[in-house]
Amino acid sequence: MLAIRKPALILPTLCIMALVFFLTPGNAMAAKDHGNNEYSMDVTALMGPENTELVVHFITTDPVNFPLPEELEKIKVKIHRKKHSSGHGSGHLINERDLEVVDNQVVFSLTEAPLYATLKVDVKFQVGQTKVKLKEYVEVTLRPDLIIEDVGYPLTVQVDQPFNVHATLQEVLGDNSAIANVNLSADGVSMTTPGVHISPEMPTTVIFTGLSFSEPGIISFTVDISDATPGEFDLTNNSFSFDVEVIPPQTPGETEYSMSYENFDNVFSLATIEMCGNVEEMQNGGNRDEFFLEGSSEEATPGGSLDISFRLYADGVSAYALDIEGLTSYETVDGFEYYDYSDEATGVFITYSRNPGNIAYFEISKYSGLEIYVNRLNGDITSSGIEDFGPHMDAETSIDVSILFDDGFSLMGGTANMTLEPPDVINDTFSFTIPDPDCGEVTFSNYISLEYIFGENYGILDPTFLARRNQAAVIAPLLPERLYLADNFPNPFNPRTAISFGLPEDSRVSLILYDISGREVSKLAEGHFSAGRHDLYLDGSELSSGTYFYSLEAGSFKEVKRMLLLK
């Protein structure tokens, strides 16, 4: 009976299998192996002092139809079947499932993999209906952890010009660190910085200082850390070589110059026009500087791009420092190359033009300070504004300047100074009337008050310069002798006004705005402020017209002033 029933059982099974075969989509039937032609993986196994880091990176030839996986069903890593001097067999090092893929790769730490062993890596994953199995062999090699990543150095230096070499060292893989003696060597130079700690968190910079050469030539340097410990590092990455060209010092040409300086301090002016029953007032105030320098020089050699160093001192204190490298010409007309630079935030404008091998010209102007204006018609404010040109230099006795234009072949510029005239206090009032056919007569009147300081000089620039491309000099603060709260300006105002206060030393400050009834409107300043002058601006766009008070407290000091907002 069993022989009779057996064909009856097999026939329905075969029919079901055939039906499943014909009903299954073609791409699902082919899914098992098709993806293996589109996917591949790149595997590295790098041994460090404590473990071996295995990195499996996935690649696809068709990202649209065969995207990279977001997770793995399984990864299996074992030592490949062959004889090993270490005696290891073919046991599993990793047998993991359901793993997340980050940046198209997975990373493992292996503590049992011997150096120079061959590992077999099997991976299985599915993307959509595509099932993929990949296999790769990789040899465990020593990882190149410790490197000299870069050396910052001058490509070209002048004879007897001191220069430094900055060597950047880094441990680039793993969590280990190293101790190394960092060596700098060249013909006639041997310098060592011992016991440098190099960590994986950040690059370490070693600076070799005091280098200079008295003769022109090309000097070949090498920085090495070949004696780093621990010794599991790849020594091929532990040195860096470079050349420094030593050139003769450049000789500047003779540069003619003229310069001037004007200081308008504590400015207040009021111009009034009375016409046809209307009174129009134009009020101005603030503090302002204007510095101007121009010059020309014959050039002996055509150059390339332009470097500019500029220093400006007011009463011996650094007022402005600028260093520009690689400025290029924006146009060439009739043989002249034209360059310009502007910094509107600090009010500096530079133009430079030259006919290579013939002559060059330059102009430098700097505007600084604060200007405030208010216009009224019949007592009502029609417009107002504040123009800020950067910190007020406020020179009283002297101006010193150093300027250098360097095109790589020739220099132009030098240093100069001028003594300023004593302050001239100006108070002037005038008024006059002219007939008018419509109004009968029109009256013009004007009042102006200011302190005016002026200076000028001209001649040949002294061909000496500050250190080339120095960092900006630290500006010494001009500290007030006492704590003060200045009157806001303009006052009345609409909608903005400026409030200034000065601190002779660092202090905690509270500056609060109150309305006419004494209720707090807003905190204009609250916290710790450094010594010096501080300028704040109040925007009253959201406030109602009327009288307001502002109060400054700093330590035992307290002062209250009044302002009027007219809309």
- What percent of the chain is helix, strand and coil (3-state, nearest 5)? 5, 60, 30
The span from the CA of 532 to the CA of 190, in Å, is: 48
Query: Is 484-565 in the same CATH topology as 146-247?
Result: yes
Using DSSP's 3-state secondary structure scheme, residue 114 falls into: coil
Distance of alpha carbon 414 from the chain centroid:
29
Burial 170-179 (b: 16+ CB within 10 A, else e): bbeebebbbe
CATH class entry, domain 26-142 = mainly beta
pTM of the predicted model, to two decimals? 0.44
Contacts of 64 (CB under 8 A, 6+ apart): none
Structure tokens at 78: 């074992």
Tell me which CATH code domain 146-247 carries. 2.60.40.10
Residue for token digits 């329905």? 12
Phi, psi angle pair for 501, to nearest 5°: -145, 155
Digits of tens for pLDDT over the chain (567 positions)?
Answer: 334 344 444 444 444 444 434 344 433 333 344 557 889 999 988 877 677 888 899 999 999 889 999 999 999 999 887 654 444 456 778 888 888 999 899 988 888 888 778 999 999 999 888 899 999 999 887 765 677 767 776 678 888 888 888 888 887 655 667 788 899 999 889 999 998 888 777 788 888 888 888 888 899 999 988 777 765 566 667 888 889 988 877 666 789 999 999 999 888 888 999 998 899 999 888 888 999 999 998 864 555 678 898 998 888 888 888 888 888 888 889 888 899 998 877 889 999 988 877 888 999 999 988 888 888 899 888 888 888 777 788 888 999 999 988 876 677 888 999 999 998 988 889 899 998 888 888 999 999 988 899 999 999 998 877 544 333 333 444 567 788 888 887 888 888 787 888 888 888 899 999 998 889 998 888 888 778 777 777 888 888 888 999 999 998 899 999 998 888
CA distances from 255 to 152, 296, 324, 466, 561 (A): 34, 6, 20, 16, 53
Phi, psi angle pair for 410, to nearest 5°: -140, 155
Q: Which residues pair with 364 in a beta bridge?
A: 293, 350
DSSP code of residue 495 = S
Q: How many CA atoms lie within 13 A of 139 on its CB side?
A: 5
CATH fit for domain 484-565, picks 3.50.50.60, 2.40.50.140, 2.60.40.3080, 3.40.190.80 = 2.60.40.3080
- Do the Cβ atoms of 478 and 394 come closer than 8 Å? yes
Pairing of strands 71-79, 336-343: unpaired
Domain ranges of the chain: 26-142, 146-247, 255-460, 484-565
The span from the CA of 307 to the CA of 467, in Å, is: 13
Residue for token digits 């020179």? 395
